[in-house]
Amino acid sequence: MADYRIENDSLGEVRVPASAYYGAQTQRAFENFPISGTRFPRSFIRALGVVKRSAALANNELGLLDDKLKDAIVTASNRVIEGEFDRDFVLDIYQTGSGTSTNMNANEVIANLASEQLGGDLGSKRVHPNDHVNMSQSSNDVIPTVMHVAARSSIHDELIPALESLAVSLGAKALEFDDILKSGRTHLMDATPVRLGQEFGGFAAQVRSATRRLVGASDDLAQLALGGTAVGTGINCPIGFPKTAIGHISSSTGLVFSEAENHFEAQAAKDAFVAASGVLNSIAVSLLKIANDIRHLSSGPTSGISEIQLPAIQPGSSIMPGKVNPVLSEAMMMVCARVMGNHTAITIGGQHGNFELNVMMPVMAHSFLESVHILSGACDAFRTRCVDGITANRERCRELLELNPSIATALNALIGYDAAAKIAKKAAAEKRSVRDVAKEQGVSDADLDSYLNVREMTEPGVPGH
Examine the pLDDT at 1 and tell me if it is beyond 60.
no
Q: By the 8 A CB rule, do 283 and 210 touch?
A: yes
- Mode of pairing for the β-strands spanning 223-224 and 189-195: unpaired
Examine the pLDDT at 2 and tell me if it is beyond 80.
no
Confidence of residue 153 (pLDDT cuts 50, 70, 90): very high
Question: pLDDT over 90 for what percent of the chain?
Answer: 97
Backbone phi and psi for residue 229, each to the nearest 5 degrees, phi listed first: 50, -125
Q: For the segment 54-110, what is each residue's pLDDT rounded down to a tens digit?
A: 999 999 999 999 999 999 999 999 999 999 999 999 999 999 999 999 999 999 999
> If DSSP codes are grouped into helix, strand and coil, which group holds residue 12?
strand
Mean pLDDT confidence for 34-59: 98
Provide the pLDDT for residue 407.
94
> If DSSP codes are grouped into helix, strand and coil, which group holds residue 377?
helix
Helix (H) or strand (E) holding 106: helix 100-117
Provide the pLDDT for residue 291.
98
| Rounded-to-integer distance, Cα 376 and Cα 158, Å | 6
- Mode of pairing for the β-strands spanning 223-224 and 258-259: parallel
Confidence of residue 465 (pLDDT cuts 50, 70, 90): confident
- The DSSP string of 364-375 is HHHHHHHHHHHH
Q: For the segment 277-320, what is each residue's pLDDT rounded down to a tens digit?
A: 999 999 999 999 999 999 999 999 999 999 999 999 999 888 89
Q: For the segment 435-457, what is each residue's pLDDT rounded down to a tens digit?
A: 999 999 999 999 999 999 999 99
| Rounded-to-integer distance, Cα 180 and Cα 458, Å | 11
Q: By the 8 A CB rule, do 213 and 282 touch?
A: yes
Q: For the segment 403-441, what is each residue's pLDDT rounded down to a tens digit?
A: 999 999 999 999 999 999 999 999 999 999 999 999 999
Q: For the segment 358-374, what is each residue's pLDDT rounded down to a tens digit?
A: 999 999 999 999 999 99
What is the model's pTM? Answer: 0.96
Mean pLDDT confidence for 211-236: 98
Nearest in space to 132 (alpha carbons), one of 210, 70, 40: 70
Q: What is the CA radius of gyration of the chain?
A: 30
Examine the pLDDT at 115 and tell me if it is beyond 60.
yes
Triad 58, 61, 67: Cα angle to 5°: 100
| Rounded-to-integer distance, Cα 89 and Cα 111, Å | 14
| Rounded-to-integer distance, Cα 38 and Cα 442, Å | 73
DSSP state of 92: B
Domains and CATH numbers, the chain: 4-135 (1.10.275.10), 161-395 (1.20.200.10), 403-457 (1.10.40.30)
Provide the pLDDT for residue 322.
87
Q: By the 8 A CB rule, do 394 and 68 touch?
A: no
Query: What is the set of active-site residues?
Result: 187, 317
Provide the pLDDT for residue 77.
98
- The DSSP string of 57-75 is HHHHHTTSS-HHHHHHHHH
Triad 423, 424, 427: Cα angle to 5°: 85
Q: For the segment 170-205, what is each residue's pLDDT rounded down to a tens digit?
A: 999 999 999 999 999 999 999 999 999 999 999 999
Provide the pLDDT for residue 270.
97
Mean pLDDT confidence for 109-137: 97
